[in-house]
Amino acid sequence: MVNLEEVSRKKEVILSSIKMRGPSLPVQVARVLEVEPLFASAFLSELKDEQKIKVSNLRVGSSPLYFIDGQEGMLENFVLHLNQREREAFELLKKSGFLEDEKQNPVIRVALRAIKDFAIPLRVRVNGESKLFWKYFGLTDNQALEMIQKGSRDVKEEVKEEKKIIEEKKVKEKVEERAVEKKKKTQDREFGKKVRDYLSGKEFEILEVLSDKKREFAAKVRVDESFGKQVYYMIAKDKKSVSDDDLAGVLRKAQFEKMPALFLSRGELNKKGKEHIGEWGNLVKFERMKF
C-alpha cells in the first residue's frame, strides 16, 4: 500500500513551509522536502486540487508561486517579475484603486488583463450601460464601488443597485454551494463505473481499489503482457488535458509500491506531458480512454 502517513507528512511540511515563507516556488519546496522539483510539483498540484493552497498567475521565470489563503497581498513582493507594461498598469491601479477600462490606452488595457493576481474585473452600470472597471485586488467589491461612486457623478445612484446585486449574488452563491455539496454526497461514482468497464474490456484485472471519486479512480491492476503478468499502480482521471504534474503524481505513488505506473484519461497529453513520457516512459505509461 502507498505510505499514506508519509504522503500526509510531506504535505504538512509543505503547508508549514509556505505559512512561514509565504508564496513559494516548486524548487524552494523541493529543497525543504529534499526531493526532485518534479515530485515537489506533484505534491503542490495535489494540495491545489484539495484546495489547501492557491497558485498565482504571475510567473517567476517559468514557474508559478504557490500560497495559502490570506497571503494574496504577499504576491506584491514579486511584481518586479512582471514586464515593464504590466508593472506600469499595476502601479497605476494601486495608486488609484480602480480604473475604467475604456479610458485607458490600449497598452494598459492589455496589461490589466494580464495581471490577474492584482487587477480584478468589476462591471458597473453607468447610465443604463454596463461598463468594465478594474479594481485593485486589495479592495472588496463594495469598497471599489464606493470609490467609483465618489469619482463619478454618473454612477452615484446605480452603484447602490450594484451593491444590492452583489449582496444578492453572495447569498445565491452560498445556496448553490450547499446544493452542490449535497449533490456530491449523494452522487453515484459514474466515472469509476465507466473506468471499471473500460479496464474489463481491455482484460485488466482489478486487484485492489484505492480510491473512487467523482472524477478520479485509482487501483492496483494486473494484465497479461508478453513476458507474463504485470501489476501497475493505476490512476484514471476525467481530464481534457494531461500534464507532466499528473504523470509525476502517479509515478511518485507507484514508486512507493515499487511498481510501474499507469495513467488513464479521456483527454490527451499536453506538450509537457509528452515530454515527460519521453523521459520516463519506462516507468509510467499513458493510455487515452474512449467512452
pLDDT, tens digit, for every residue of 3-23?
677 888 899 999 999 999 999
**1, pLDDT greater than 50:** no
Domain 4-71 sits in CATH 3.40.605.10? no
pLDDT, tens digit, for every residue of 120-165?
999 988 777 889 999 999 999 889 888 887 766 545 555 556 666 6
pLDDT of residue 138: 92
**186, pLDDT greater than 90:** no
Considering the domain 190-288, what is its CATH architecture? 3-Layer(aba) Sandwich (3.40)
Residue spans of alpha helices (H) in the chain: 4-21, 26-33, 37-49, 84-96, 106-114, 141-151, 156-186, 190-201, 244-256, 271-280
Share of the chain above pLDDT 70, in %: 90
Q: Give residue for cell 449574488.
A: 169
pLDDT of residue 274: 93
Q: Out of 18-27, 77-86, 93-102, 119-128, pick the least confident.
A: 119-128
Q: Topology of domain 82-184, per CATH?
A: Arc Repressor Mutant, subunit A (1.10.10)
Q: How far is CA 1 from the centre of its chain?
A: 27
pLDDT of residue 226: 77
**Residue in 192, 284, 177 with CA at minimum distance from that of residue 237:** 192
pLDDT, tens digit, for every residue of 232-245?
999 999 999 999 99
Q: Return the domain boundaries, the chain.
A: 4-71, 82-184, 190-288
For strands 241-242 and 216-225, give the pairing: unpaired
Cα-trace Rg, the chain: 24
pLDDT, tens digit, for every residue of 258-282?
899 999 999 999 999 999 999 898 8
Mean pLDDT over all residues of the chain? 87
pLDDT, tens digit, for every residue of 203-235?
999 999 998 888 899 999 999 887 788 999 999
The reply to whether domains 4-71 and 190-288 share a CATH topology is no
